Amino acid sequence: MSRIGVITSGGDCGGLNGVVKGAAQMAGRKGLSAYAIPNGYAGLYNLITMDELVELSPSRLDSFSIGLAGSEAGHSRVKIAKIKDERKYERIKEGLAKFGIDALVISGGDDTGSVVADLAGRGIQCVHAPKTMDLDLVPYSVGGDSTINRIAEFVRDLKTTGRTHNRIMVVEVFGRYAGHTAFRGGVAGEADAILIPEIPVDFNELYRHMKKVYTKRIIESDINAGTYTVVVAEGIKDASGSELYDDSAGVDPFGHRKLAGAGKYVAQELQKLLRDDDDIKQFM
């Protein structure tokens, strides 16, 4: 083995340039050359048509910013199995042979991982570096830490705005059907309530807690100011087990239903309870 290719695939997140840089640096220590295969699996499929690849040399790696989101290798939301070409795997192997690529380091989430398994099953040497902001693939993955910190930062920043206007703040975050990032980010951001898919939402209990905390803060404030912050994971369910989302959001390029609208649903349910509560309306 003398050359490896590095691919990033799926959605963007923090840490991807760290994967590309780390893979290339480790390859260098092992006496191997590393090359970026651009634009994810679309680039892998079209490798045979390319004239050259960017070598991930030490000087090229120096230009990488690993503290920001994005990938110098580029992305695409393409699943090899869905490409309508009977020779697609032969085409990929021909492209790898053209550039002398012996193995691949591929960073992506569960869809990306399924393609890694597919490629490996057809004799292409691959290593999968798990990447998912949702933390629903393995206990820790690329993107998770950045996501948790951003959620926490955003929740903390909203507190002053909420307090200025005596607002109830509802923050919807992603995670699909896992509440890991919502929970950890919400705890770090000191949210007052965190709603996750693993625990059905009891709106009466949520409202009871909100009313108690919100009114106490305003009464005890020397300027009559208070707020209450709810972090909502996108895949939450109500007490009956029904998913709370906007069914007009459609699907993503991989055919997964977009779980948008949970935060809006929670806000609307709280507003319904607020309308009939004169005790709390006086503070808003």
| CATH number, domain containing residue 165 | 3.40.50.460
Max avg pLDDT among 99-103, 112-116, 236-240: 99-103
Question: Within a domain: residue 139?
Answer: no
Q: How far apart are CA 115 and CA 121, in angstroms?
A: 10
Report the pLDDT value the prediction gives residue 257, as an integer from 0 to 100.
61
List the beta strands (DSSP E) in 87-219: 103-108, 125-130, 168-173, 193-195
**Are 156 and 277 members of one domain?**
yes
Question: Within a domain: residue 135?
Answer: no
**Are 193 and 117 members of one domain?**
no
- The order of strands in the sheet holding 125-130 is 54-55, 33-36, 3-8, 103-108, 125-130
Q: How far apart are CA 18 and CA 62, in angstroms?
A: 12
pLDDT tens column, 223-268: 999 999 999 998 898 888 877 766 665 666 556 666 678 999 999 9
Give the gyration radius of the chain's Cα atoms: 23
| CATH number, domain containing residue 114 | 3.40.50.450
Where a domain ends, among 88, 103, 130? Answer: 130
Provide the domain limits for residue 73.
3-130
Q: What are phi and psi of 69, to 5 degrees?
A: -70, 170
**Are 126 and 184 members of one domain?**
no
pLDDT tens column, 140-185: 889 889 999 999 999 999 999 999 999 999 999 988 888 999 999 9
How many domains does the chain divide into?
2
pLDDT tens column, 191-230: 999 999 999 999 999 999 999 999 999 999 999 999 999 9
Q: Which residues are catalytic?
A: 134
Question: Within a domain: residue 138?
Answer: no
